[in-house]
A and B are shown apart, each in its own frame.
Chain A
Amino acid sequence: DSGVTQTPKHLITATGQRVTLRCSPRSGDLSVYWYQQSLDQGLQFLIQYYNGEERAKGNILERFSAQQFPDLHSELNLSSLELGDSALYFCASSPGTGLTLLYGYTFGSGTRLTVV
């Protein structure tokens, strides 16, 4: 157990639908990062939140959005789903401060999304 919890582990949904992926960061970590990994593809950074505020955006589609709540858990919302959105979605957390050097980045076990 890495300390980063992602739910659900698996999700199957139809095209056009909307889903929400949840991430609870490691205790004490203020930063949350979302990544997408399509089949046989690398890990693509989507978005980062730090203590409730968006801090960096990567290759995130407009149909996707995220937020980080006061208790520091984060949700990634994917809407108008397409077949190509089928992927593994990983959440990572870090202290988000200088302590990141000491404690590093911890990844969750991911959510496997299948769009049919």
Chain B
Amino acid sequence: DAKTTQPTSMDCAEGRAANLPCNHSTISGNEYVYWYRQIHSQGPQYIIHGLKNNETNEMASLIITEDRKSSTLILPHATLRDTAVYYCIVRDHSPSSGSARQLTFGSGTQLTVLP
């Protein structure tokens, strides 16, 4: 799976949009971009994933650049409860990737939402 690079930390004012960037310049055609978050010591929580089109769900939006080398997770109206570590993960879902399908976590971005 391709490696990802994220900023170590970011701050965001409550009620404003939080934009979390992720670089995955070596991503290949069958690799999806996943976003998870971990609120202090809780289990990681799925946010969103996508291949090449922008995606939106009730939690967030995922914007993937046309060349797929980077993406941005957008939390449209951040609240204090969105303070967490956000992980950007690239995962190969091609048949040739085999049955070993674990997610590999990096260091993530510590997002702090400020009142």
Contacts and interface: CB of A to CB of B under 8 A. Distances in A.
Range for the number of chain A residues in contact with chain B:
20 to 34
A88 interface: yes
Contacts of A88: 41
B105 A42 contact: yes
Range for the number of chain B residues in contact with chain A:
20 to 34
Interface in A36-61: 42-43, 45, 48, 50, 55-56, 58
Nearest to B93: A101
Tell me what chain B mostly uses at the interface: helix, strand, loop, or mixed: loop
B96 interface: no
A100 B42 contact: no
Interface of A: 2, 4, 31, 33, 35, 42-43, 45, 48, 50, 55-56, 58, 88, 90, 92, 94, 96, 98, 100-101, 104-110, 112
